[in-house]
Amino acid sequence: MLLSKILLPTLKDAPQEAEVISHKLMLRAGMIRKVASGIYTWLPMGLKVLRKIENIVREEMDASGAQEVFMPMVQPRELWEETKRWDKMGPELLRIKDRHDRDFCLGPTHEEVITDVIRSTVKSYKELPLNIYQIQTKFRDEVRPRYGIMRGREFLMKDSYSFNMDEESLQETYLTMRDTYKKVLERMDLEYKISAADSGAIGGDSSEEFHILADNGEDTIAVSDTSEFAINTELLLKDGEDIKSLEGKPSPDGKGTIQIKKGIEVGHIFKLGEIYADAMKANVLNNEGKASTLFMGCYGIGVSRLVAAAIEQNNDEKGIIWPHSIAPYDINIIAIGYDKNKEIASASNQLYLQLKEMGYEVLLDDRKDGYGTKIKDSELIGIPLNIIIGKQFIENKEVELKSRSGESSINSIADIETILEFFKDK
Ligand code: ATP
Ligand code: MG
């Protein structure tokens, strides 16, 4: 893609409204624009990253044996009456009326819709277990939308729902999902903790949250300094107790002492048990031919929140440092004097095509600006590798390779192997 052609409104300074680094950088890097409180448009550079994360999630969900569907965002009141959540949910549930004065809501989650589908389609234990997922827009009228897309009102979630015959089968799917989420976060090179959590409005007997460790996290988690153990401090604090007082106490798992960390919740897995299936009379025939209530689990990943969380964990004073697997582009060819020097233009074009043919996603900065502006923009956007074609190219056919993480080297433009080798370990 030619940089001169992209809708990329980069900003020198972040607008006043942005409090946290990820929000500032997403606005400055031209990734999103605000439409209303908690509601954003994703611009091309932002959408590229969002789609990369979505694809990683989709690949890992498919690999786990889950099946993708696409449910409606608009849901009828009647389904929500069945679980009593039409009343329980409060103002976070955005309610609307159609032209016939019928009540609907914008889906903040999809337990009701999927359970309705399953109870009318699955008849026998032989068809189970099933794990059904979607990647879809959710709407929650949050009390305090903030931090840009980190806590939006409209956001993208991967939500899945498993249907199992019994507790053991549910436990198996739950562990498969736990593993799948680990794979997703590992592919994104993010540092995370799995913490025991409060099940909140969704209900159910047990749940765990996946937290990206970052100073701007809204959650406070207690982690052991020697083991994997982590727990949301919500569960640990007794009435009137201060979070600080937990620091240094023995870890509840008996290993090491507690350290207090800030985390961004990016995933949440629940064992719901029979509550929803019971409320909605979702039964199947068991192996004795008797109607048996289904066991359910639900598993969510905040796809759009992950974009912000990845930035919170990977940035410096110059801008974003994308983990390679989710960078919007792999390589930026910075052509100095593209508009004036035919040799530079043609060498840049050729390199651009060659790299694209090899399967890389490449930007070519063909704009009139000088080196300073171009490298600053590239560092702000966070492209992993820059190839600079300028004076050294005219003098002796050399290009400078510069990684976002700080390494650089000079190479012959003909030496594409070394260029890509350099790229590999960054
Ligand atoms: P939170 O405690 O942050 O409000 P939640 O417990 O309400 O999250 P779930 O209902 O479990 O969240 O939703 C699954 C995932 O969706 C969360 O782990 C989070 O990553 C994401 N998510 C939830 N609310 C928002 C929001 N307002 N904006 C962006 N992502 C969100
Ligand atoms: Mg919430």
10: alpha, beta or left? (left if phi > 0; alpha if psi -120 to 50): beta
- Domain co-membership, 367 together with 301: no
Quote the strand ranges of 58-205, DSSP E: 67-68, 74-76, 95-97, 103-106, 130-139, 154-164, 192-196
- Report if residue 241 sits inside a domain: yes
- Domain co-membership, 333 together with 311: no
Pick from 316, 351, 383: which residue ends a domain?
316
- Report if residue 324 sits inside a domain: no
Residue 365 has pLDDT above 60, yes or no: yes
Closest atom of ligand 1 relative to the 267 alpha carbon: 18
Q: Residue 192: how many CB atoms within 10 A of its CB?
A: 23
Q: Residue 70: how many CB atoms within 10 A of its CB?
A: 9
- Domain co-membership, 188 together with 310: yes
Pick from 316, 341, 371: which residue ends a domain?
316
- Report if residue 152 sits inside a domain: yes
pLDDT digits (tens, 9 = 90+) for 82-124: 999 999 999 999 999 999 999 999 999 999 999 999 999 999 9
pLDDT confidence of residue 198: 73
- Domain co-membership, 333 together with 300: no
- Domain co-membership, 364 together with 265: no
CA of 151 to the centre of ligand 2 (A): 9
- Domain co-membership, 303 together with 189: yes
Closest atom of ligand 1 relative to the 159 alpha carbon: 14
- % residues pLDDT > 70 (the chain): 98
- Report if residue 186 sits inside a domain: yes
- % residues pLDDT > 90 (the chain): 89
- Report if residue 122 sits inside a domain: yes
State the CATH number of the domain containing residue 61: 3.30.930.10
Element of type H or E holding 31: none
- Domain co-membership, 266 together with 342: no
* Sign (positive or negative) of CA dihedral 334, 336, 338, 342: negative
pLDDT confidence of residue 419: 79
Residue 408 has pLDDT above 70, yes or no: yes
151 CB within 6 A, ligand 1: yes
Q: Does residue 223 contact residue 263 with C-beta atoms inside 8 Å? A: no
Domain count, the chain: 2
pLDDT confidence of residue 299: 98
pLDDT confidence of residue 252: 87
Residue 367 has pLDDT above 80, yes or no: yes
271 CB within 6 A, ligand 1: no
Q: How confident is the model at residue 253 (pLDDT cuts 50, 70, 90)?
A: confident
Residue 422 has pLDDT above 80, yes or no: no
- Domain co-membership, 15 together with 138: yes
- Report if residue 212 sits inside a domain: yes
- Domain co-membership, 306 together with 389: no
Best residue among 268, 272, 301 to mutate for probing ligand 1, ranked by most atoms within 8 Å of CB: 268
Pick from 316, 343, 378: which residue ends a domain?
316
Domain span at residue 228 reads 3-316
| Least trusted range by pLDDT, from 15-19, 152-156, 159-163, 373-377 | 15-19
Closest atom of ligand 1 relative to the 197 alpha carbon: 6
- Report if residue 321 sits inside a domain: no
pLDDT confidence of residue 330: 96
Q: Which ligand is nearest to the CA of 141?
A: 1
- Domain co-membership, 292 together with 374: no
Q: Does residue 240 contact residue 196 with C-beta atoms inside 8 Å? A: no
- Count of alpha carbons within 13 angstroms of residue 208, beta-carbon side: 15
- Domain co-membership, 119 together with 163: yes
CA of 411 to the centre of ligand 1 (A): 47
Distance CA 329, CA 362 (A): 6
pLDDT confidence of residue 238: 80
- Domain co-membership, 168 together with 300: yes
Of residues 345 and 200, more confidence is placed in 345
State the CATH number of the domain containing residue 336: 3.40.50.800
Residue 413 has pLDDT above 90, yes or no: no
- Report if residue 390 sits inside a domain: yes
